[in-house]
Amino acid sequence: MRDVAVVGFAQRQMQDYDGSPTCAELLVPIFGECYEQTGWTKKDIGFWCSGSSDYLAGRSFSFVSAIDAIGVLPPVNESHVEMDAAWALYEAWLKIQTGEVDTALVFGFGKASAGVLRRTLSLQLDPYTLTPLWPDTVSIAALQARLGIDGGAWDEAAMAEVVNRSLTDAEKNEYAVRAGGSSVKELLARPMFADPLRKHDAAPVTDGAAAIVLAAGDRAREVRERPAWITGLSHFTDGLHLGTRDLTRAESASRAAAAVGGLDGVEIAELHAPFSHQELILRHDLGLADDARINPSGGPLAGNPMFTGGAIRIGEAARRIWDGTADKVLGHATSGPALQQNLVCVMETVSEGMGI
């Protein structure tokens, strides 16, 4: 295995982006920041990979328009996934492992505010037996939350604690679209939106874009004193049918954690839990230590741009390696309804002993 590290990260998050659904004009300054962080130009990037979905803002082939922001003459080596950019990062990491390239820039973008996000996401469900009922994502998460409450796996106070910690931490995050802690008591006094979920239990609808730079070996060392070496990267998915899954668990998250040899020693974990109770599921099923610091950025409850929310978790976690806050971190991403698909990306200060 080649040693690959996260060496660059830039992001934008906002409530209502007033630009185009391809976000190309938003990506230009983001790529600019990546060039500045690395000292590179686009010629130094061996591979480009993006994550987005045309359903989000109703613009066909938006990922093709978005590459205007790269500048593609001469042509660049480029790919796309209809998933969170965390999965684009997985593809880019594989590309570097093949030896074909040494560097990659991964990006994602999405303008969720252009439509009704919780409705649009019904299209990711089984098209025969679920989509015709248009079960919105918030309702599905609420069904999941109540299963856990009824079964005694968590309660509304534990969910509110997640929210309070997230929104308190988000006060220090310039990109957060929702911030401001209060108290568990105050949060529980707010009205239900999708019983047992209150609005603050769900990530806010967020527009945005983000980019992550990967580099192998010496290319990484030339950029940073402390590159965030990827020592574990894995993803799994659970089945399509909600009824046959145990929704109080995230089995695919457990499998992903097991595939990287477990998550012992992770000091900081950025978890992509778009609903408060899902963080509780992930902490348990990923097997994180009790003293692991969760989502110091404020996490997805403070801002969750579709198709970059997961990649942002990896970028936020990597930053903690770069700045010396931690020696071992986790970036996690999810996709699909009710934590159906899960990706873990473990990053450390040293690249020896890769668990892959």
Partner 1 sequence: MSRTLSAPVTVSFDYTRSVGPVLGRFLTGLRDGQFVGARLSDGRVVVPPPEFDPVTHRATADFVDVAETGTVTSWTWVSEPVAGQPFDRPFAFALVTLDGTDAPLLHAVDVASPDEISTGLKVRARWATERTGAITDVVFVPDTGTAAAAAPVAGEGEVTGIVTPVSLDYTYAASPEESAFFRGLAEGRLVAQRCPQCRKVYVPPRPACPVDGVPTVEEIELSDTGTVTTFCIVNVPFLGQKITPPYVSAYILLDGADIALQHLILDIPVEEIRMGLRVKAVWKPREEWGTTIENISHFAPTGDADADYDTYKHHL
Binding site for partner 1 (CB under 8 A): 18-22, 24-25, 27-28, 31, 42, 55, 57-59, 67-73, 111, 113-116, 118-120, 122-123, 127-136, 139-140, 142-144, 146-147, 150, 192-197, 239-244, 247
What DSSP string runs through 175-194? T-SS-----HHHHHTSPEEE
CB of 341 to partner 1, least distance (A): 16
Between strands 304-305 and 205-216, the pairing is parallel
CB of 210 to partner 1, least distance (A): 17
Q: Toward partner 1, which CB reaches closer, 135 or 296?
A: 135
Rounded CA separation 172/167 (Å)? 9
CB of 116 to partner 1, least distance (A): 6
The angle, 0 to 180 degrees and rounded to 10, between the axes of the packed helices 276-286 and 156-169 is 100
The answer to whether residues 343 and 256 touch, using CB atoms and an 8 Å cutoff, is yes
Rounded CA separation 208/13 (Å)? 4
CB of 206 to partner 1, least distance (A): 16
Contacts of 170 by beta carbon, 8 Å cutoff, 6+ apart? 176, 178, 179, 180, 297, 298, 299, 301, 302, 303
Q: Toward partner 1, which CB reaches closer, 132 or 324?
A: 132
CB of 340 to partner 1, least distance (A): 13
Q: Which amino acid is at 352?
A: E
Rounded CA separation 148/279 (Å)? 12
Q: Toward partner 1, which CB reaches closer, 239 or 324?
A: 239
CB of 354 to partner 1, least distance (A): 32
Q: Toward partner 1, which CB reaches closer, 120 or 295?
A: 120
CB of 65 to partner 1, least distance (A): 8
First vs last C-alpha separation in the chain: 8
Report residue 331 CA to chain centroid gap: 8
Between strands 341-348 and 328-335, the pairing is antiparallel
The answer to whether residues 71 and 42 touch, using CB atoms and an 8 Å cutoff, is yes
CB of 108 to partner 1, least distance (A): 17
CB of 202 to partner 1, least distance (A): 12
Rounded CA separation 308/175 (Å)? 13
Q: Toward partner 1, which CB reaches closer, 51 or 135?
A: 135
Q: Toward partner 1, which CB reaches closer, 113 or 164?
A: 113
Q: Which of 355, 305, 302, 299 has the alpha carbon at shortest distance from 328?
A: 355
Q: Which of 224, 247, 251 has the alpha carbon at shortest distance from 237?
A: 251
